[in-house]
Every structure is written in structure tokens, then in C-alpha cells.
Structure 1
Amino acid sequence: MTRRLRVAIVGYGSGGQAAALALARDGHEVEVFERVPNPGPVGAGFLLQPTGLQALWRLGLLDAVRTHGAPVARLYGETPCGRAVMDMRYADLDARLTGIGMQRGALFALLHAAIGAQVGIQLHVDHAVEELDCDAGRLRDARWRWHGPFDVLVVADGSASALRAQVTASRIDKPYPWGALWCLLPEGDWSWPTELRQRYLLARQMAGMLPVGCMPGDPVRRLSFFWSLPVNGFGDWRTAGRDAWMQQLQALWPEAHARMGEDFDVSCLARAAYRDAIPKRWWRGRTVLLGDAAHAMSPQLGQGVNMALVDALELAKQLGQSTSTTDAFAAYETARRAHLAAYHRYSRWLTPLFQSHHDGIARLRDAAFLPAGRLPFASGHMLRVLSGTQQGWFGRYRLEPGFVDALHRASPANQTE
């Protein structure tokens, strides 16, 4: 398509922001509808994989992301006694690749600043969208005002999307029984500043520390801490009190306990819950799903933000090269489903290994996961799943040589050469 489209995007998370920026840069007129009066990030930190980093590179934000993020070279998980369960390094896949840990607030700020400098984007805050007219390209907000018609409606309102069901029926749409507590901590003298570290007590307890760099305007580098527990156990955790939980953390992971300090205020821990959602279709009429609204999954693979960023660039690409929005939506869904084919299944298979009360499965994991990951085929496959570059079951998602070179040149080791 060469004509300028009028596009509405519902949701101002990472996927909605990236879609707005990509589509406006292609010359389209974009309006974003966000339900909260003062938009901001939700969550502590995440790991940007090469797939998500490539999308940000295409948006011209890789240098800024590198400045504020933390390079992560390794994912390492172990039992309380120090027995390795998982040990994966990006260099074993490609010496030029790395992940980047980042605060959600930092990525939000970088995308928000780029949107503010981009012509053709209008942001409507305090506009909760309650109804879609998918065929006519209109939407109704909570004040009963209709907006549109638009050529394209992009639904990017997250895993608990209130609008997904108006677009399509779902094959799966249910909450995960396990959630997490999380917070940000000063990095200080943390011993593993380039690694995502995790500790497991069978599958009943899991804690993690991810270096996530700093915020624009704040030079303090931080860690994102998370503690896994059942959603129906939040009340019991609160009732048991601070001291009981701090004792659990001390037993599981003394170094993490020490990083928090004796005076740590547990009231700063926020709750997170997750959802598994697979719609039957990704679009209807003029309306299309994007990000977690299209493919919510367990956080075990850490792919949520990355896949949303890839979605945004793929949608813009297909709208730019297809002859109609119908063709563009169909090609977008086909391309993204091909990439995501294995990830939903892996996330469901892995969850009982790391978040469940199945002690026998967890003991099998502790004994077999690391040796299995060292087998020739399994090693490469697991690394591609980690990095987001597994395409379906047997293919590979393409990383452009220009991006890989840019990521490699931006690495701290090469900046000092």
C-alpha cells in the first residue's frame, strides 16, 4: 500500500509504542488510546533478546538501549546447594550476540521520547476503550464517545485484554496458577553484573536477579529481583509476614538476601500475574491483535516484550508491502504464528519444571536439564529458544547482518578496543 492510512492503537505498552512509532515513520496517521491518565511502565525489568533488540535497532534506538541497559551474557540457574541446573551463554550460539537487561521504565521513556519527536502520532490518555466495531474501524471509549472510522485498529492492550474477545474466539484463555513478587534493587557490588541468575528449591521456590541498568536521568544501576509463588498463595505470604519470608530467602539464596539487606521493606514488592491466551485468529475486518493480546504466555521464556516489538515491526512491514489491509493482516498473522509456533508449547511444558508442587518432576529437571542441554542438537535449539531466534520447530528467525554487527560493535569489550 502506498496510501496514507489512519490507524488507531489501543494500549501504550511496549508493543503499542513500537507500532505507533514504526507506522508513523512509514507515513501513516496514528492515534493511540490509553486508559490511564498518566501512562507509565508496569513491571520491574526484563531481558531484551536479539529479536527484540533487532526491532529496536530498526527503530533507531539500539544505542540508547545499550546506554541504559545492562549486557547479559549468561543465564545460570542452580539449586540451594550450588548444583547447576541451567547454564546457557549467548556466545555459544554466536560470539557477537548478547541479551540486554533493562528496566521497563527505561524502555518506556526511550520509546515515549521518540514518539514525542515523531510527526503523525496523537496520544489520547484517560481513554479506556470498551467496544470495537471491527468491520467499520471504529472504537467507543468509556464515556460513550465513538472514534473513527479508522483504516486499521490495532489492539495492544495486554495479556488480560478486554477487547480480544470482540475480535475473535480463543483456543486458550486462562490465567496461570503461579505469579511472582518483584522489585528493583541497587546493583551495588553484586557479584554477577552480566548474568541472569536464578535459584530453585525444587519447583516450589524460585528467585532471580537480573541486571537492568539505569533510567534516563538516574545513573544508579539496578537489579530486577523476582520471587515466584502461587497466585492463591499471596494472602498466605502476606499473613506469614516479613521475617518468615526473609528466612526463606536466606535459606534459598544467601547472596540475594545480603543484597536486600536486613532493613529491606517488603512493602516495595509488587505482585505480577500471568495468562496463557491463544486466539483462533489475529484479525477481523479492520482490526488486528498485537503483543500479549495476540499471544500471552508464561514468563518462563521471557519473550513477552521481545515478541511484541517484533509484532510491531512485522505489522508495519506488511502494511507497507501488501495491496490491502486484508492481505497485510493475513501475511502478518502467518509470519508471526510461524515464529511463535513452539513458544506457547514450550512455556506450558516448562512451567511445571520451575513452578509447581511436582517434586519428582523438579528432581528430574535438576538431574537431567543441564546434561540434556549439552547434547549437540539440544544445545543449539535451547539457545535459539532463549534468544528468540527459533522459528517454529525447526527453522531460524533471521537476524540481519547489519544488526548483528551493530550489536557486536556496541558491546563494552569492543568499545574499549
Structure 2
Amino acid sequence: MQHSLSIAIVGAGPGGLATALLLKRRGHDVRVFERFDQAAPVGSGLILQPTGLSVLAYLGLLPAMLARGQRIDRLTGADARSGRTVLDVRYDALAGGRFGLGTHRAALFDVLHEAVVAARIPIMTGTEAEALHGMGDGIGFDAGGLRHGPFDLIVDASGARSTLRRHAARPVEPRALTYGAIWATLDWVDEGFDPHALQQRYERAHTMVGVLPVGRVDPAGGKKAAFFWSLKPAEVEALKAAGLDAWKARVLEVWPACAPYLDQISNFDQLSLARYGHHTLLPQRGERIVFIGDAAHATSPQLGQGANMALLDAAALDEALRRSEHLDQALDSYGALRRNHIRLFQSLSLMLTPFYQSDGRILPWMRDTVVALAARVPPVPQILGAMVAGTLLDPLGRIGLAEPDWTTSSQLASPTASTQESA
């Protein structure tokens, strides 16, 4: 697009901040609007996959993220009763030295937010978009009795609870999933835990406990872990009524090695509830509005793609605006660039969720027997690695990006580098 656009970005999460940086770099007039009084991260740990890391590399932010996060080489899961490994997905099953990066949402937010501030992109807080309105040749939105605009384009990056999604060409609302999780960010424990793996223990699919190393939330602080317990949100009140000691005893039944993590939890206020829902908005646009991240597509975290999909959306929108002559053409192009990848990973996440979070017996039995055996036979390890890495269908090539040299990047995220940094 040859001329500058006036663009409002609703939501200061990873997708919104990345979009602001990309579009500002392209010469557009960008403003970010955040509903909270202070822009801040929501949630606990996540894994940045090679897809999301590639977008951050394009923004010049990969070294900063590697300094805060923790390299992840594999995802493992074991049956709680037998101790037998039933899930072992390795990034090294793929060529090129790929890896994941465990990080806290606060660290990802800080890196992006600092870049947005440095780029002098204004962020207006305490502004919750409520409804859209045409304003001459542009579009505006209402927030708290005030009307903001006009803009040439609004980017809705406000998450799964978007109030603007009803303005999409074909609106959909999230369908609540039965299971969620409670999370805590705790000090990392070395003994008994792999610092370069997401580790989980299962009792069928109704019980899951996991530990994800997430590096440093505060650059000057110690290393942290995201600790999570899968449960139905409807069961939270009963869990609290039974008492903290009863819950800890139940966790220890599933995974005794978690005692040092449980010792750090003194009350339920340290645990945050994550509710999961599923929806896929296609096309990801309306009239002068486009949707990215969880506002456009959300699902359970079984494949760990949420923040990565938002970063890919941001890069795809930037590319679509760059290559198109008109706004409508650009929004259609954005949808075309992301459509197949979104459909594939939304379908995979929805299909895999019952294997790990459900009340059934047959699917977890298949996971622990048939699937566990098949996962050892090529090319299944490579397919599983690509699913977790997010690289199926090559979403980066479609939006004009390439993966960085992971061999060089991995030196920054290596155990040796981490040790030197701690020394």
C-alpha cells in the first residue's frame, strides 16, 4: 500500500503490540487502545515456537526474548501410576536445530512493550471498545461514552472476550471447553526436573499436572517455572472448600516430585484459573475491521500455539497491507494468507484436546498405547515435531518471512549460555 493509513489497535497483548510495531515500521499512523488502566500481561507461562520466534526475530527482538526465556527441547508426558513415558515430542526430530522457548507472558509483554514505547507509539489505557460506527469515509468506536476516530482501519487484538467480534462478516462466539487449569508462577526447582522440557503427568485424561521452565520474569530475578493443574472450572469452588492441604495431597499422589513446588504455595490466591474456549472466525474481517489472535481464533493450549498464532497474524497483516493497493484487497489477502494454517491448527487442537482433557477412557488409552507406540516410528516423530513447532504448511513462507539460523540462535539459548549468565 503506497499511502499511510490511520490505524487503531484494540488490545495491548502480544498480537496487538507486535502489530503496532510492524505497521509503524511500515509508515502507518498507529495508536493502541487498552481497556485496563495500565497495560499489563494476563496469564502465566507459554512456549514461543519457531514460528513466533521468527516473527520476533524479524522485529529485532529475538535476542531480548532469548535472554529472558528458557530453551525447550522436548515435551514429555508420563502415566502417573506406572511412570511410563507416553508422550515425547522432540524439536530435534526436525532439521535445522529448532527449539521452543519457555517464557512468562510478563517477559514477552515487557520486551514488546519496551519496543513500542521506544518507537513512540501512543497507548491509550482505560479505553474499552464497545461498538463500531462509520465516521465519514472512516470508522470509529465508542468507549466509555466517548467516540474515537475516524480511522482507516481497526485491528481487534482484544482477545477471546472481544466485544467487537460481532462486527465481523460472519460473527461467531467461543464455545466453552469443559476443562481449564489453575496456574502458579513459582521458583524453578532443579532436582528431579528437566530445565529444557515441558514435563507432565497424567491420570487418564481427567487429571494432569505439568511444569514448564519459563526463564526469568524479571531480568534481574531468578529462574521461574509455570506450574499447572488441569481441572474443570466448575470444580474450583469445591476444590477450595476442601482446603489447600487436600489439593496438595492429591497432586502428590499424581507426582510426588512436585513437593518443592507445592511448598511454595501457601494459599489459593497464588493460583490463577484459566478457562478455555474454542472458536474460529473466518473470514477474519468486517468492514474496515480485522481480527487477530484470540479475537479471531482461540482453542485449548494442547499444541501451545496461542501467542505464536497471534504473532503470525500480525506479520501476515503487515505483509497483506504491503502488497495490496487497496484496503479491501489487503484484508482479503490477509485472510487468504492465514486461512489454511488457522484451519489446520484449530482442527488439530480441537481433535487432540479430548486425549488430554476429558472424562473418557478410550481416548487416553489410545494415547498411552497406540499413539505412544506409533510416535516412535518415522515419519511420526517429524510430524509431531512440526505440529508443536507450528511449521506445518509453512506459515512463514506465505507471509514473506524466513526462519533465522537456529544454530546461531541456539547458542544464545543453550545451557552453557544460561549458566554463564547466572554466574
Counterpart selection for 1:306 from 295, 308, 331:
308
Match of 1:390 in 2: 392
Higher mean C-alpha displacement, 261-270 vs 301-310: 261-270
Match of 2:288 in 1: 286
User: What is the CA–CA distance in structure 2 between the aligned matches of 1:204 and 1:87, rounded to whole Å?
Assistant: 20
Letter in 2 for 1:326: D
Structure 1 residues 263 and 299 mapped into 2: Cα distance closer, same or farther (>3 Å)? closer
Q: Is the 8 A contact 2:35 2:129 kept in 1?
A: yes
Letter in 1 for 2:130: E
Q: Is the 8 A contact 2:189 2:260 kept in 1?
A: no
Q: Is the 8 A contact 2:282 2:339 kept in 1?
A: no
> What residue ranges of structure 2 are gaps of 5+ in the alignment?
none
Q: Is the 8 A contact 1:159 1:274 kept in 2?
A: no
SS in 2 for 1:39: coil
Q: Per-residue deviation at 1:409?
A: 4.4
Letter in 2 for 1:228: S
User: What is the CA–CA distance in structure 1 between the aligned matches of 2:251 and 2:140, rounded to whole Å?
Assistant: 47
Q: Per-residue deviation at 1:413?
A: 6.0
Match of 2:20 in 1: 20
Higher mean C-alpha displacement, 96-105 vs 377-386: 377-386
Higher mean C-alpha displacement, 76-85 vs 273-282: 273-282
Higher mean C-alpha displacement, 404-413 vs 1-10: 404-413
SS in 2 for 1:77: strand
Counterpart selection for 1:265 from 251, 256, 267:
267
Q: Per-residue deviation at 1:24?
A: 0.7
Q: Does 1:156 align with 2:160?
A: no
Q: Is the 8 A contact 2:204 2:364 kept in 1?
A: yes
Q: Per-residue deviation at 1:279?
A: 1.9
**1:92-137 superposed Cα distances (whole Å, 9 cap, x missing partner):** 1125111000011011111111000004x21110001100136854
Structure 1 residues 221 and 140 mapped into 2: Cα distance closer, same or farther (>3 Å)? same
Q: Is the 8 A contact 2:131 2:163 kept in 1?
A: no
SS in 1 for 2:211: strand
Q: Is the 8 A contact 2:70 2:413 kept in 1?
A: no
Structure 1 residues 15 and 187 mapped into 2: Cα distance closer, same or farther (>3 Å)? same
SS in 2 for 1:189: coil
User: What is the CA–CA distance in structure 2 between the aligned matches of 1:280 and 1:396, rounded to whole Å?
Assistant: 17
Match of 1:185 in 2: 186
TM-score (norm. length: structure 2) = 0.93
User: What is the CA–CA distance in structure 1 between the aligned matches of 2:190 and 2:134, rounded to whole Å?
Assistant: 53
User: What is the CA–CA distance in structure 2 between the aligned matches of 1:396 and 1:59, rounded to whole Å?
Assistant: 17
SS in 1 for 2:83: coil
User: What is the CA–CA distance in structure 2 between the aligned matches of 1:50 and 1:129, rounded to whole Å?
Assistant: 32
Letter in 2 for 1:50: P
Q: Per-residue deviation at 1:215?
A: 2.4
**1:56-94 superposed Cα distances (whole Å, 9 cap, x missing partner):** 000100000000000001101001121111001111112
Counterpart selection for 2:200 from 198, 201, 210:
198
Structure 1 residues 103 and 330 mapped into 2: Cα distance closer, same or farther (>3 Å)? same
Q: Per-residue deviation at 1:369?
A: 2.0
SS in 2 for 1:390: coil
Match of 1:104 in 2: 105
Q: Is the 8 A contact 2:37 2:125 kept in 1?
A: yes
TM-score (norm. length: structure 1) = 0.94
Letter in 1 for 2:147: W
Q: Is the 8 A contact 2:396 2:402 kept in 1?
A: no
User: What is the CA–CA distance in structure 2 between the aligned matches of 1:134 and 1:405, rounded to whole Å?
Assistant: 50
> What residue ranges of structure 1 are gaps of 5+ in the alignment?
none
User: What is the CA–CA distance in structure 2 between the aligned matches of 1:350 and 1:338, rounded to whole Å?
Assistant: 18
User: What is the CA–CA distance in structure 1 between the aligned matches of 2:219 and 2:231, rounded to whole Å?
Assistant: 34
SS in 2 for 1:342: helix
Match of 1:226 in 2: 228
Q: Is the 8 A contact 2:68 2:216 kept in 1?
A: yes
Q: Per-residue deviation at 1:402?
A: 3.7
Q: Per-residue deviation at 1:401?
A: 5.1
Q: Per-residue deviation at 1:374?
A: 2.1
SS in 2 for 1:225: strand
Give the share of equivalent positions with the same residue, in percent: 37
Letter in 1 for 2:45: G
User: What is the CA–CA distance in structure 1 between the aligned matches of 2:251 and 2:32, rounded to whole Å?
Assistant: 42
User: What is the CA–CA distance in structure 2 between the aligned matches of 1:234 and 1:396, rounded to whole Å?
Assistant: 38
| C-alpha RMSD over aligned residues | 2.0
Structure 1 residues 68 and 401 mapped into 2: Cα distance closer, same or farther (>3 Å)? closer
Structure 1 residues 280 and 307 mapped into 2: Cα distance closer, same or farther (>3 Å)? closer
Match of 2:57 in 1: 57
Structure 1 residues 105 and 413 mapped into 2: Cα distance closer, same or farther (>3 Å)? closer
Match of 1:295 in 2: 297
Aligned pair count?
Answer: 413
User: What is the CA–CA distance in structure 2 between the aligned matches of 1:247 and 1:113, rounded to whole Å?
Assistant: 42
**1:31-60 superposed Cα distances (whole Å, 9 cap, x missing partner):** 111111011111111000000000000010
